[in-house]
Chains A and B, each alone.
Chain A
């Protein structure tokens, strides 16, 4: 399992050390420690109320941690006010100043910098070019579309060339088409400026495509930190496995370990599952075997001599064009999700299985994820 913290290996640029934030008796953020390297595009992913926005607001300086310290570029920022931090934020609502033009909005933060008027307007121009808004410099925010406002907010947040840029649901208010486009634009800008980005999002797809690393948060606690690939293929606990994508989970008991293989007896699968693991859980301990729907093969005939084979009946079928989603009922009554790519062009009769068909499901030992908590 490749859960090594690549951020910690390089000198950490942002270091969050045991940070806790309580509002009354509610622990919004509970003892979070995190190291983020320079130039990373880091995502805080979680549902609403998981503490991701509170953590972001503490990085910006709008909230003070109840406990713990925050370092940015080696400097202790914990008690600095927002206007003294080398950090800028792009707000979820964009928070553009309604009485100022696009140009004035972008140039606002530069008033506090030691620049000549010529340098200032040059910087504003450069920022507007970066987000491709030069021709709208004189407009007021209410004369712009949602996507244009988002770009003004981004240009404004980048104008002071911060060491760290915080983005609160940067694509949340955009429609689907614009999101996809903006996503790549955001990555492109991050690449060109080299500024470290921390993105807060509840959208796992957004986090997966944007980020170099993701921290999955739940109820104020970080449940896993890793690259999108690690988070998806090697979830370290049930919450992360369940939160990211869809997954089948089977309860079981370890009956044998050794040789990089663990045998788990799963009553719902009416048999033993072989899972390839580095860890050696104790014999007799309760575990969960988790398998992604697309890692399961569905066939009409029994696969020859394979391991992890189980029989069932197709209960439900969803056809999405490029792939199909099957809900297969096992003999134990348990429902399993299977995702199968429609590789062959065919009419309905040519599909792998139909409603009420008897099918065989199988998956590789290396596809099985063993979860202990």
Chain B
């Protein structure tokens, strides 16, 4: 027995640890949420229960997801905000990541430090700083207002741009918060690319922008997908940013879950929304894994 443990036990234990972690802290809670989403609201503690007759479960919560436009609107606005934020992160993050790979080693470390530097300050504090910046009396708002007034005809002129409590504010703060999650995987991908490939393309007659289009961009797709998922998934379920700077008339899905759970005390409905959100998020992951597997089989590195 002791010998057996020494031979196989440690290895199995090490392999089992992350699985045990996932089962205890992800799979079981998730199953509880799934079960809860099939229950009905009851004035008990906890505030839910099941029908007394067969089949006990209730699919009414999932039906409500499609009947009540509140949920559909929340899903749509979450997806649109997250998508815009992801695209903006990509547009801003790609040149930054590429730039970091093109400077000397010592500068690289400094720039990467600067990318993760914001994490050293409390996230909430940084969101509150943005609230201050977007207020109608802030220098930031005044600057944007004067640029806007300069660019448009005088009859459209504004005293200040209404930024707070809009989707613009939500996207702006999300881009700011999630940008490092785009830059880091992109950097890791771009840094591995062999620069002699760029020289070879240039040698064969490609100008720098053609080299980027034909070589760098296609070879960085894994990095783009990884960064995109890292931004898109948390941005879709984001709760704090829309709560603090978004409009309450047009809530995002995270806010809806929180409201159902806390104010309405409708745990089954909150669970149903959460389950739907999870499936919405799992789909792109499945797509990504499929793409990765295909790339491993067909293309990949020499």
Binding site for B on A (CB under 8 A): 60-62, 81-83, 87-89, 91, 93, 95-99, 108-109, 111-113, 140-142, 149, 156-157, 160
Which residues of chain B from 175 to 218 have a CB within 8 Å of any chain A CB? 194, 196-197, 199-207, 210, 214-215, 218
List, in ascending order, chain A residues with CB within 8 A of B218's CB.
Answer: 99
- Inter-chain CA distance A268–B38, complex, in Å, is 102
- Inter-chain CA distance A249–B298, complex, in Å, is 58
**Mind listing 16 A-B residue pairs with CB under 8 Å?**
A83-B203, A83-B204, A83-B207, A91-B199, A93-B196, A95-B194, A95-B196, A109-B204, A112-B205, A112-B210, A113-B205, A140-B302, A141-B302, A142-B300, A142-B301, A160-B204
Dominant secondary structure of chain B at its interface with chain A: helix
List, in ascending order, chain B residues with CB within 8 A of A111's CB.
Answer: 205
List, in ascending order, chain A residues with CB within 8 A of B194's CB.
Answer: 93, 95
- Inter-chain CA distance A81–B205, complex, in Å, is 9
List, in ascending order, chain B residues with CB within 8 A of A88's CB.
Answer: 203-204
- Cβ A98 vs Cβ B205 within 8 A: no
- Cβ B204 vs Cβ A108 within 8 A: yes
Binding site for A on B (CB under 8 A): 194, 196-197, 199-207, 210, 214-215, 218-219, 298-302
Distance in Å: Cβ of A109 to nearest Cβ of chain B:
3
Distance in Å: Cβ of A94 to nearest Cβ of chain B:
9
- Cβ A99 vs Cβ B219 within 8 A: yes
- Inter-chain CA distance A83–B203, complex, in Å, is 5
Decide: A112 near B204, CB < 8 A? Known: A98-B299, A149-B302: yes
- Cβ B206 vs Cβ A97 within 8 A: no
Using CB atoms, name the residue of chain A closest to B298.
Answer: A140
- Cβ A83 vs Cβ B301 within 8 A: no
Using CB atoms, name the residue of chain B closest to A84.
Answer: B205
List, in ascending order, chain A residues with CB within 8 A of B205's CB.
Answer: 83, 109, 111-113, 160
List, in ascending order, chain B residues with CB within 8 A of A81's CB.
Answer: 202
List, in ascending order, chain A residues with CB within 8 A of B298's CB.
Answer: 140
- Inter-chain CA distance A95–B195, complex, in Å, is 9
Using CB atoms, name the residue of chain A closest to B200.
Answer: A95
Distance in Å: Cβ of A373 to nearest Cβ of chain B:
38
Known: A89-B199, A109-B205. 7 other contacts (CB 8 A): A91-B200, A98-B197, A98-B299, A99-B218, A109-B204, A140-B298, A142-B301
- Inter-chain CA distance A93–B302, complex, in Å, is 11
- Cβ A60 vs Cβ B203 within 8 A: yes
List, in ascending order, chain A residues with CB within 8 A of B206's CB.
Answer: 83, 112
- Cβ B203 vs Cβ A89 within 8 A: yes
List, in ascending order, chain B residues with CB within 8 A of A96's CB.
Answer: 200, 302
List, in ascending order, chain A residues with CB within 8 A of B202's CB.
Answer: 62, 81-83
- Cβ B299 vs Cβ A108 within 8 A: no
Decide: A98 near B301, CB < 8 A? Known: A91-B196, A91-B199: yes
